[in-house]
Chain A
């Protein structure tokens, strides 16, 4: 017995072309948390034969020392380490010349302007002593790191736009060559996260592997509850620090539901044994969302055409809170509890 399956010789990729009438594609967010920006991202749909994302810049993150087990890209024992860089891509189909206006229910008009980047300078102060070829060196210096964050959004550059809860906002976007896009929403009320308790007692420190209850105040609309261990360094995550415990799946609650004002959390079980007590910051966040935001990010889209072999998600194009284009116009407001988590 034998079998010979003569597989097809190297099936070729075929470049696709399309002739599609483009529409504007909007990412519109009003964030009523103080200090959190509200912005409008504006793009267009793209053809199948054009670029969808271009390299914007390369950001140098940190030096990865090959003595560290986490630096798995070290190729041999002689290599000291390597710089970890992040390639930042931006959508190729940016619309930069549009007129974007927000109008509140008092009739106030806020014109948003396009900005491609914001610049800030990190100040890093070093005060250290180390030995280099037998010589002890005291190093005391300050490094200034200039960072350009490419955002490519339309924002309020006048400082006059201060979004309010439970307020109606209308969006109007005009871009040459495209249909006018309009949108509307009602911002959510500020949610209130009351407390966190363990075994009925309000606590400010969560113990890993022990269940706890999150309490909130009933207000309006839908909200999402999330929790995260805060490491202080933004690039760190649990895989780098080997931290485990405290993670739980975000969940959705109805803030108007009288029958539920708290929920018990059984967070990720941590199997490790710890020889020393370790404590980290732990942030519980309650994010209220308007109907548009909920529909776009939570309800999601009924699958249009999908199967295991397709390789990419598909859509017929969603317009949530807007008309005349694709995308969404939504709003969020949040409250949080900053606690400790101990293991």
Chain B
């Protein structure tokens, strides 16, 4: 308590000392073309050391400016220099909204890039922001994908080409908080993880914390990804369309009409796959019904997503933002057939109606109210609803109608099977950012998060005289996390900076308060070299119930941490050295160690288990798990110029401990990973990009030999059948061959078709056609004549082969 009081005195006395005969300048820096805020722009007063960088909203505040005349400058690479004379009068804050004009040729005065601003301002280790140009710079699988680009960063691993899920420094994807405009998204993947649900056309920036994230983020213990959508053009209506192999997508944006002095912008983007509609239109016959009509091949799958964002500036201090994201994958298949027969005494009509409906995806809605209470005090209140739904329903109806001369008998059986996992997340959050003094920025707030988890398996069965409903599994959790947090970014001196924070979370199922202290320190050895240190505790209150060994994960099944299990916890310790060269090439070397405890690993399903046995359901049975990970990461990143990209190297070791397997490597562990992403501007209208990944192989469990096991058949003549089973060794002690993949892409800009400008892009994935092994499949070698079961053989199941794709993008 004494320490807290002492700390408060320092902040307030500092504030007092610098508040005499001074005033402030605050405002926003925006792109003049479309009104999008520009983050990390440098705003400074000539011939002083007073200045600030814009935050993610483009907002800046320069406090404690002595009265007098100044020249204010705003710079950002790619934009012309902004200059304006300004007079500062005591206690008369100046509000300045700056528009920067895009400029291809850089002036010599522009020396500060966004990368340098990030380098100078950022306190957190392991944090990186990717703008849309960087997201698009890596060759992608059919379409640019923010998750695929993030997988190329150091510290991020994956299990296979088929998954865009992020395994970050030993943390599984469920430990990552994925947000779209601040709203949590639970399963942000299409097509079982091959694509992420975020349409890059709508993205402005992706902010990624691989670890050591500050107290304002909580509830997860792995990484943070906040994807920010564009705000929409404030000047005029514009749009773009993109046609790729699997989908078409479009974006349209524009200003809101002025209404009683209020102004704003809007943005709508959407995407849909079209294999299903194309194949249905082709009407490919695959058989005939009993009535002679054709049965056509159906492609019963598609996905779609759309995003809406509306910004309304009520006045210069109040902004309301509405953000919506809807994305679903849908399998919809049905089959009907009717058969009729006429007998001597009865006519029979037999109808079959079979259908599968399986939607899964996310719906989010959020409203944010930003209130600039004072130039140095900004409040953001945030109300959101996020729903993830996985809902598989199979219905089979057989209906037989027997028509006799004097009566009709109807016999039917109607079976419905439903498996579902539905999560409803309602969050209210307020965040206050206070420039308490020239060297203190205090951020505090609270968050109330209600999450309803509903995981179930239902079967219903009905006949003409019987109706039965069974619920084989029903796991319903209503969790509430009430969290409060505070953090202070304290510039102790020009060279030494701290960020001290804590987060307290009350979890209703445990009726317990969890306390997470967070600490960051940054020491600028010189203008170009900084040393960083981060430490923190991170609690998590949810988990997923998926098979730990599966390589293809279609969906994630989420659960709140049960009442009888403690909250999962991780400790992050990160140390890093950063260097920004005079050519604005960013270098970062980081060492990290993470400890995990109270993780939950789903018990694998029992074999031979019968209904009524002690352990016939494993959907809610877990092994208590602990673990640790450590590693070294190196990043060299060049963000500007005709040749840009990054090189990342990761050395990582992750181990988990469960009772049956002891300490073992999880299946995503890759020891060495080298990633190279490069983008060359060959000419004004031609760009070449390439991505290379070389890594150690993922672990797997070795097969040692075979043993007979038996199945029973207890009938009148009881029999027991032997079958071959493979004896496995220690878990995940073998590794697949190393992974290697090179992708290349070429973009040609400035095409013209009937006056419409367009870009075309071509991409080749795995250009060397390297065989990367997803896993082995096994088989007994069988003698074709005798049928003798000979030795065991295996064959690799490959990841992506060589794939060539191309697409067209229009702008209007």
Contact = CB atoms under 8 A, between A and B. Distances in A.
Nearest to A326: B707
Contact of A91 (B607, B708, B717, B781): B708
A305 B778 contact: no
A245 to B, nearest CB: 13
Nearest to B775: A309
Given A251-B611, A266-B468, A307 B793 contact: no
A45 B705 contact: yes
B608 interface: yes
B716 interface: yes
Given A7-B801, A306-B604, A313-B607, A250 B714 contact: yes
Choose among B603, B714, B779, B806 the residue with the greatest number of A CB atoms under 10 Å from its CB. Answer: B714
Q: Is the contact region of chain B dominated by helix, strand, or loop, or is it mixed?
A: strand
A82 interface: no
A234 B717 contact: yes
Contacts of A49: 791-792
Contact of B725 (A15, A20, A54, A312): A312
B720 A27 contact: yes
Interface string B786-812: 111111111111100111111100000
Interface in A14-30: 14-16, 18, 20, 22, 25, 27, 29
Contacts of B644: none
B615 interface: yes
Interface residues on A, range: 35 or more
Nearest to A27: B710
B608 A298 contact: yes
Interface stretch (A68-76, A137-145, A223-231): A223-231
A132 interface: no
B792 A51 contact: no
A53 B771 contact: no
A312 B778 contact: yes
Contact of B714 (A1, A12, A87, A224): A224
A292 interface: no
A4 interface: yes
A107 interface: no
Contact of A269 (B463, B781, B798): B463
Given A22-B705, A316-B727, A271 B716 contact: no
B753 to A, nearest CB: 15
A89 B718 contact: no
B608 A297 contact: yes
B607 A300 contact: yes
Given A45-B705, A51-B790, A87-B787, A307 B720 contact: no
Interface in B681-727: 701, 703-712, 714-718, 720, 722-727
A308 B549 CA distance: 9
Contact of A315 (B725, B787, B796): B725
B315 interface: no
B404 to A, nearest CB: 11
A252 interface: yes
A307 B550 contact: yes
Contact of B781 (A15, A45, A87, A253): A15
A198 interface: no
A11 B603 CA distance: 33
Contacts of B413: 269, 271
A305 B607 contact: no
Nearest to B547: A307
Contact of B606 (A253, A271, A303, A314): A303
Contacts of B348: 273
B508 interface: no
B802 A299 contact: no
B430 interface: no
Contact of A1 (B244, B608, B609): B244
A115 interface: no
B625 to A, nearest CB: 15
A6 interface: yes
A36 interface: yes
Interface in A27-83: 27, 29, 31, 36, 41, 43, 45-55
B774 A16 contact: no
A241 B668 CA distance: 52
Contact of A309 (B402, B409, B731, B797): B797
A213 to B, nearest CB: 15
A46 B706 contact: yes
A315 B728 CA distance: 6
B779 A13 contact: yes
Contacts of B581: none
Given A2-B806, A11-B798, A302 B792 contact: no
Contact of B777 (A298, A310, A314): A310
Nearest to B343: A275
A133 interface: no
Contacts of A2: 245, 804, 806
B715 to A, nearest CB: 5
B793 A20 contact: no
B805 to A, nearest CB: 6
Contacts of B609: 298-300
Contacts of A36: 718
B551 A51 contact: no
A20 B551 contact: no
Interface string A222-244: 00101010100010000000000
B241 to A, nearest CB: 14
A51 B604 CA distance: 30
Contacts of B714: 224, 226, 250, 285, 287, 332, 334
Contacts of A314: 701, 703, 725-728
Contacts of A301: 606-608
A249 interface: yes
Interface string B761-776: 0000000010100110
B17 interface: no
Given A7-B801, A13-B793, A312-B726, A302 B606 contact: yes
B802 A6 contact: yes
Nearest to B769: A6
B791 A302 contact: no
Choose among B244, B605, B727, B804 the residue with the greatest number of A CB atoms under 10 Å from its CB. Answer: B727
Contact of A14 (B726, B795, B805, B806): B795
B448 interface: no
A29 B805 CA distance: 61
A299 B614 contact: yes
A303 B704 contact: no
Contacts of A18: 703-705
Interface in B227-250: 243-245
B727 A317 contact: yes
Contacts of B725: 312-315
B794 A14 contact: yes
B777 A311 contact: yes
Interface string A281-297: 00101010000000011
Interface in A244-281: 249-253, 266, 269, 271, 273
A45 B777 contact: no
Given A285-B716, A297-B608, 11 more contacts: A4-B804, A8-B801, A48-B706, A50-B791, A52-B708, A266-B466, A299-B613, A305-B701, A309-B774, A309-B777, A312-B725
What are the 7 closest A-B residue pairs judged by CB atoms, nearest first?
A: A303-B604, A252-B612, A300-B608, A300-B606, A20-B705, A53-B789, A305-B701
9 contacts: A13-B779, A20-B704, A55-B786, A87-B787, A92-B789, A93-B708, A252-B610, A301-B608, A307-B547
Interface of A: 1-8, 11-16, 18, 20, 22, 25, 27, 29, 31, 36, 41, 43, 45-55, 87, 89, 91-93, 224, 226, 228, 230, 234, 249-253, 266, 269, 271, 273, 283, 285, 287, 296-318, 326-328, 332, 334, 336
Interface of B: 243-245, 346, 348, 398, 400, 402, 409, 411, 413, 463, 466, 468, 547, 549-552, 603-615, 660, 701, 703-712, 714-718, 720, 722-728, 731, 769, 771, 774-775, 777-781, 786-798, 801-807
